[in-house]
């Protein structure tokens, strides 16, 4: 009986079981959005994407290990003979970038200027970045941009945008005008609390502004993100409403003198990290 109880407890609390996209390896699967644009599911790490240009292929995010990258290559080969020439990192989190090192060096890696900086920051536990050695620096984004960039793959154009700080300081949007589809990395989480990496400079209040800017600037109908199925404009707007209400509730608690622990206890357990970020941001704004 005790063993069963222990197992159930482990099952309920262990992140291994609850985050299948980062904890388990499933076969790579390409889901078609158009003849040119696909979402990449499976493998170890976050969802990514593939775009077939006139003569070459662009990949969005690299997952976490060699098996996943080999799987991406195999899956792409089944659809097109065109070579993969560009890899775009939506931001600097491990489940989107660790696979960079398994791409051939001939592939050009692109990311935001701040994303490149975050590659080289110490890790959350304070240890040095694994990307600092000259061997690994080859797989850190080689081409970076600040506000906007276009990639022309023959007759096709992809628009890259930066709308500001949020989940991290270097999250970008890839917009595919023909498909009216945006790949937004982890800028918005659905069905689980938003992750804000405060230790990288992420900020929940900036996240709201950045997401609003994104919705105003990009005419996307579909939104592909790192840890969810395709979402729509309405889902994005709902997310903004929900996180704004979440922040407001914490603001009220801070104003009435509640401690961090008291505030956390008014929320679900899995929201503790977001409560901590928002609480600290509100305290910092008051100073
Ligand atoms: Zn992320």
d(CA 190, ligand 1 centre) in Å: 13
The model carries a pTM of 0.90
Q: What is the pLDDT of residue 15?
A: 33
Complete DSSP assignment for the chain:
-HHHHHHHHHHHH-HHHH-HHHH--EEEEEEESSSSEEEEEEESS--EEEEE-SS-EEEE---SSHHHHHHHHHHHHTT--SPEEEEE-SSS-HHHHGGGGGS-TTSEEEEEHHHHHHHTSPPTTSPPPTT-SHHHHTTS-SEEESSEEEEEETTEEEEEE----SSSS---EEEEGGGTEEEEETSS-SSSPPP--GGGT--HHHHHHHHHHHHHH---SEEEETTSS-EEHHHHHHHHHHHHHHHHHHHHHHHTT--HHHHHHTS-GGGHHHHHHHHHHHHHHH-
Task: Assign 24 a pLDDT band (cuts: 50, 70, 90).
Answer: low
Cβ atoms within 10 Å of 193's Cβ, excluding its own: 18
Q: What is the pLDDT of residue 52?
A: 98
d(CA 62, ligand 1 centre) in Å: 12
d(CA 96, ligand 1 centre) in Å: 7
Task: Assign 139 a pLDDT band (cuts: 50, 70, 90).
Answer: very high
d(CA 265, ligand 1 centre) in Å: 26
d(CA 210, ligand 1 centre) in Å: 15
| C-beta of residue 227 within 8 angstroms of C-beta of residue 239 | no
Residues 96, 102: Cα–Cα separation, whole Å: 13
d(CA 67, ligand 1 centre) in Å: 20
In tens, the pLDDT along 242-274 reads 999 999 999 999 999 999 999 999 999 999 999
d(CA 177, ligand 1 centre) in Å: 24
pLDDT at 11 over 50: no
Q: What is the mean pLDDT of the chain?
A: 92
Task: Assign 124 a pLDDT band (cuts: 50, 70, 90).
Answer: confident
Q: What is the pLDDT of residue 235?
A: 98
For the chain, domain boundaries: 19-233
Comparing C-alpha atoms, which of 36, 62, 58 is closest to residue 48? 62
Task: Assign 83 a pLDDT band (cuts: 50, 70, 90).
Answer: very high
Residues 47, 224: Cα–Cα separation, whole Å: 8
1-15, 47-61, 126-140, 161-175: the lowest-pLDDT one: 1-15
d(CA 4, ligand 1 centre) in Å: 34
Task: Assign 285 a pLDDT band (cuts: 50, 70, 90).
Answer: very high
d(CA 166, ligand 1 centre) in Å: 10
Q: What is the gyration radius of the CA atoms in the chain, in angstroms?
A: 20
d(CA 167, ligand 1 centre) in Å: 7
For residue 239, count CB atoms less than 10 angstroms from its CB and return exposed for 0-12, middle for 13-18, buried for 19 or more.
buried
pLDDT at 20 over 60: no
- The 3-state secondary structure of 70-135 reads HHHHHHHHCCCCCCEEEEECCCCCHHHHHHHHHCCCCCEEEEEHHHHHHHCCCCCCCCCCCCCCHH
Q: Can you read off the two tokens belonging to residue 187?
A: 């800028």
Beta strand pairing status for 108-112 and 84-88? parallel
Q: What is the pLDDT of residue 287?
A: 78
Phi, psi (degrees; rounded to nearest 5) at 269: -60, -40
In tens, the pLDDT along 36-70 reads 999 999 999 999 999 999 999 999 999 999 999 99
- 157-161: long-range pairs with CB below 8 Å, 24+: 158/51, 158/58, 159/218, 160/88, 160/110, 161/214, 161/217, 161/218
Domain covering 19-233 in this structure, CATH number: 3.60.15.10
């Amino acid at each position: 009986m005790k063993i069963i109880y222990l197992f159930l407890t482990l099952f309920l609390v262990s992140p291994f079981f609850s985050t299948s996209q980062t904890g388990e390896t499933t076969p790579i699967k390409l889901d078609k959005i158009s003849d040119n644009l696909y979402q990449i599911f499976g493998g170890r790490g976050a969802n990514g994407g593939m775009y077939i240009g006139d003569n070459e292929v662009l990949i969005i995010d690299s997952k976490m290990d060699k098996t996943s990258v080999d799987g991406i290559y195999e899956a792409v080969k089944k659809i097109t003979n065109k070579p993969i020439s560009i890899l775009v990192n939506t931001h600097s989190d491990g489940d989107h970038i660790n696979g960079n090192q398994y791409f051939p060096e001939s592939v050009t890696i692109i990311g935001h200027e701040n994303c490149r900086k975050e590659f080289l920051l110490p890790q959350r536990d304070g240890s040095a970045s694994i990307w600092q050695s000259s061997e690994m620096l080859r797989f850190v984004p080689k081409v970076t941009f600040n506000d906007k960039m276009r990639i022309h793959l023959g007759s096709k154009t992809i628009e890259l945008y930066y709308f500001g700080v949020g989940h991290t300081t270097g999250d970008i949007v890839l917009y595919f005008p023909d498909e009216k589809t945006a790949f937004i990395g982890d800028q918005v989480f659905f069905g689980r609390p938003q992750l804000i990496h405060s230790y990288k400079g992420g900020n929940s209040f900036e996240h709201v502004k950045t997401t609003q800017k994104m919705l105003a600037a990009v005419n996307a109908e579909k939104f592909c993100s790192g840890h969810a199925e395709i979402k729509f404009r309405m889902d994005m707007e709902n997310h903004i409403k929900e996180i704004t209400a979440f922040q407001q509730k914490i603001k009220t608690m801070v104003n009435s003198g509640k401690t961090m622990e008291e505030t956390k206890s008014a929320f679900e357990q899995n929201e503790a990290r977001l409560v901590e970020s928002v609480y600290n941001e509100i305290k910092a704004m008051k100073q």
